[in-house]
Amino acid sequence: MISTLLRVLKITAYVLLGVVVYQLIIRVIRRLSHFPAPAFIGIFLDSDQRRRMQPAEDFIKTAGIKPGMHVLEVGCGSGAYTTFVARAVGPEGKVEALDIQPAMLAQLEKKLTKPAFQDIDNITLHQANAYQLPFGDQELDLVYLITVLPEIPDQARALAEIYRVLKPGGILAVAELLLDPDYPLKSTTTHRCQAAGFALQEVQDNFWSYTARFVKPRKNQTG
């Protein structure tokens, strides 16, 4: 009995060590080179396992997503959270789903053809980068990024563009996942967004993830 328990503990320790080493190697690589998450991991990104660690309902609540909002998702990927947000803003709201990779958008487009999502008709797909958002000044109510901001090489430039398209009083929501190789500390995310002119409103977290909500101050009407 004791020997079996020791074997289990030993195997568990090896598995945990392997995960730690893998994370360290991937994080070093990511520090040296920034690039979007490859399209082939879209299946994991849009999975119930991922959403158990980063629940959609918790994100929507903390982000402040409400019915009728005009919302932009930067880096929508395969649409892990896009459909949840689309239902949260309701038929009077709109979701702009933007990604730099056509292959990711193709996965989301295919997902939206499934019977489970036939009730959703308020999502528009955009193939573009975060430096040139295809929207006018002060056009959007809310912009959100889920495990995307650290993948952008020039985050300051992207945040400035998000600031441009948000209305005064508009919301920026940034969510990060601990298992993501690009995972930044809450303090790092807060500093980057505040440096871009956003004011921190709230941060909510669990063991695996956090969501930080910022606002574009109304006093800066000109952006």
Q: Could you tell me the pLDDT band of residue 26, with boundaries at 50, 70 and 90?
A: very low
pLDDT at 65 over 80: yes
* Contact in structure between 67 and 90 (CB atoms under 8 Å): yes
Report the pLDDT value the prediction gives residue 19, as an integer from 0 to 100: 37
Report the pLDDT value the prediction gives residue 219, as an integer from 0 to 100: 76
Report the pLDDT value the prediction gives residue 28, as an integer from 0 to 100: 41
Beta bridge partners of 73: 97, 144
pLDDT at 12 over 50: no
Its pTM stands at: 0.82
Report the pLDDT value the prediction gives residue 30, as an integer from 0 to 100: 42
Q: For residues 56 and 111, what is the distance between their CA atoms, to the nearest angstrom? A: 17
Report the pLDDT value the prediction gives residue 62, as an integer from 0 to 100: 98
End-to-end CA distance of the chain: 67
Q: Could you tell me the pLDDT band of residue 41, with boundaries at 50, 70 and 90?
A: confident
Q: For residues 31 and 116, what is the distance between their CA atoms, to the nearest angstrom? A: 39
- 66-88 pLDDT tens trace: 999 999 999 999 999 999 999 99
Please state, rounded to an integer, the average pLDDT across all residues of the chain.
Answer: 87
- 78-128 pLDDT tens trace: 999 999 999 999 999 999 999 999 999 999 999 999 999 999 999 999 999
Amino acid residing at 148: V
CB neighbours of residue 17 within 10 Å: 10
Amino acid residing at 143: V
- Residue 33: strand, helix, or coil: coil
- 130-155 pLDDT tens trace: 999 999 999 999 999 999 999 999 99
- 190-216 pLDDT tens trace: 999 999 999 999 999 999 999 999 999
- Averaged over 48-72, what is the pLDDT? 96
